[in-house]
Amino acid sequence: MSGGARMVLMPVSDRWRDQRKLMHSILNNQQAETKFIACQELESKQLVYDYLIDPGNFSLANQRFSNSVIMSVVFGRRAAVDDPELKAILDSVNVLNEYMFSPLLNMCDTFPWLASLPKSLQWWRPGGEAYFKRTCALYKGEYDRLLKKIENGTARPCFGVDLEQGAALKEFTLSETEKLFVFATLLEAGSDTSRNAITQVLAAMATYPAWVTKARAILDEVCGADAERLPSLSDRDRLPYITAAAKEALRWRPFVQTGVPHLLTQDDEYEGYRFPAGTQFTWNAYAIALNEEDYPDPMTFSPERFLDGDLNNPLKGHWQFGTGRRVCLGSTVGHNNIWIAIACLIYCFDITEDPDHPIDTLNTNWGAHTKAPFKVNIKPRSQAHVDLIRRVGAEALNADY
């Protein structure tokens, strides 16, 4: 399905190391602070505007926000709510996720010996190859548009340009297919994950309102109780409670429910049990996240549990970014996406549960990407907040690139 070029599915190898190094060069903490924050703040302005204009479609707004941040950094262009490329990317990720997380859909992954059948008998191969071709075409379209902009001098500085002409070009040699899959990985890993987390936060606001009241009081102290300005990522030092809420968002209802399986590369032993190389391991995300010993009253959304010495390390205290050497490369970017979304949404809106449509937070399909996975009431807090949202929304809409 990926021609061996999609990093998240690669075994540890020189190719994986090269791609990981390349992606680290764009996602590391310094880049997260310098390149991403301006995009996150701009997109958060449109996020609140989209909520004001079309609250029923909050999950599309979350989707656009998350995708536009990474799209801006990678391809130097923003995404629209009804962006056909964005929809195509999400459709494609959906198919990939189904294959990755449904063991029976891809029998050859569950029973690897099937791969020794002659190619003509590998019944899954034509479907996989067709998916591979579609993925290449999808990202080639975006890449070609960027190349055209480079040619006519209208490309904005972005990772794609750097890969064509800048430092990244000199440092990394990639085949055409690998390049497309580096773009694919960044856009896929960067869009869906943050969108799911922000959608979950909305459910947490509606079902556990106590933390929202507290967060809002603190936000009002920092940004003004009369809609003076939107919160910004430069307020992080003064808003530890929002940082704790972003971490709690990642613990509360893990959306990577099966964990991400990995194979042992060598024989291993644990507590007297022997495991041969090739054994598959994963983690039980719900059992870990809802474990009462580590998280007292685990069903409740409670940022307080993260107000500790590890507050500012997005990787500590939950498993949502994975662990070990395959740990998520975009954790700081993802964490900041969630941070700014929580801060702006709580500052601008009253988000409450609709008594006719209670939210079942244990059985919601968070990944639904064509419509909102649950109903919730979203109302601006006051006329002053509406005015603020319209003002910042106009700024965001005018920043068209």
Report how far residue 202's alpha carbon sits from residue 301's, in angstroms, rounded to the nearest whole number: 11
Options 63, 67, 177, 185; binder of ligand HEM; rule CB under 6 A: 185
Binding part of the chain for ligand HEM, among 162-170, 315-323, 347-355, 360-368 by CB under 6 A, reads 315-323
Residues numbered 49 to 78 that lie near ligand HEM (CB under 6 A) are 70
Is 334 one of the binding residues for ligand HEM (CB under 6 A)? Answer: yes
Q: Which is nearer to ligand HEM, 75 or 223 (CB)?
A: 75
| CA angle, residues 28, 96, 174, in degrees to nearest 5 | 50
Q: Is 328 labelled a binding residue?
A: yes
Q: Find the residue with minimal CB distance to ligand HEM.
A: 330
Q: Which is nearer to ligand HEM, 181 or 227 (CB)?
A: 181
Burial of 288 (0-12, 13-18, 19+ CB in 10 A): middle
Residues numbered 217 to 256 that lie near ligand HEM (CB under 6 A) are 256
Is 197 one of the binding residues for ligand HEM (CB under 6 A)? Answer: yes
Options 55, 240, 322, 367; binder of ligand HEM; rule CB under 6 A: 322
Q: At its nearest, how many Å lie between ligand HEM and the CB of residue 377? A: 25
DSSP SS3 for 370: coil
Binding part of the chain for ligand HEM, among 53-61, 132-140, 186-194, 296-304 by CB under 6 A, reads 186-194
Q: Give all strands (DSSP E) within 234-385, no chain letters.
A: 262-263, 268-270, 273-275, 280-281, 349-352, 377-380
| Amino acid present at 89 | I
Options 52, 96, 289, 333; binder of ligand HEM; rule CB under 6 A: 333
Binding part of the chain for ligand HEM, among 113-121, 130-138, 203-211, 329-337 by CB under 6 A, reads 329-337
Options 23, 90, 100, 223; binder of ligand HEM; rule CB under 6 A: 23
Is 321 one of the binding residues for ligand HEM (CB under 6 A)? Answer: yes
Report how far residue 275's alpha carbon sits from residue 222's, in angstroms, rounded to the nearest whole number: 53
CA distances from 263 to 11, 280, 361, 363 (A): 8, 4, 31, 29
Q: Which is nearer to ligand HEM, 259 or 393 (CB)?
A: 259
Report how far residue 112's alpha carbon sits from residue 101's, in angstroms, rounded to the nearest whole number: 16
Report how far residue 374's alpha carbon sits from residue 203's, in angstroms, rounded to the nearest whole number: 8
Q: At its nearest, how many Å lie between ligand HEM and the CB of residue 23? A: 5
Burial of 124 (0-12, 13-18, 19+ CB in 10 A): middle
Within 13 Å and on the Cβ side, how many CA atoms surround 366?
25
Options 59, 135, 320, 361; binder of ligand HEM; rule CB under 6 A: 320
Q: Which is nearer to ligand HEM, 50 or 188 (CB)?
A: 188
Pattern 259-288, ligand HEM, x by CB under 6 A: -x----------------------------
Q: Which is nearer to ligand HEM, 288 or 386 (CB)?
A: 288
Which residue, 288, 255, 252, 245, is CA-closest to 59? 255
Q: At its nearest, how many Å lie between ligand HEM and the CB of residue 316? A: 14
Most distant CA pair in the chain, distance:
70
* Percent of the chain that is helix, strand, coil (3-state, to 5): 60, 5, 35
Is 160 one of the binding residues for ligand HEM (CB under 6 A)? Answer: no
DSSP string, 153-217: T-PPS-HHHHHHHSHHHHH----HHHHHHHHHHHHHHHHHHHHHHHHHHHHHHHH-HHHHHHHHH
Binding residues for heme: 328
Q: Which residues bind ligand HEM (CB under 6 A)?
A: 7-8, 20, 23, 27, 70, 185-186, 189-190, 193-194, 197, 256, 260, 320-322, 326-330, 333-334, 338
Binding residues: 328
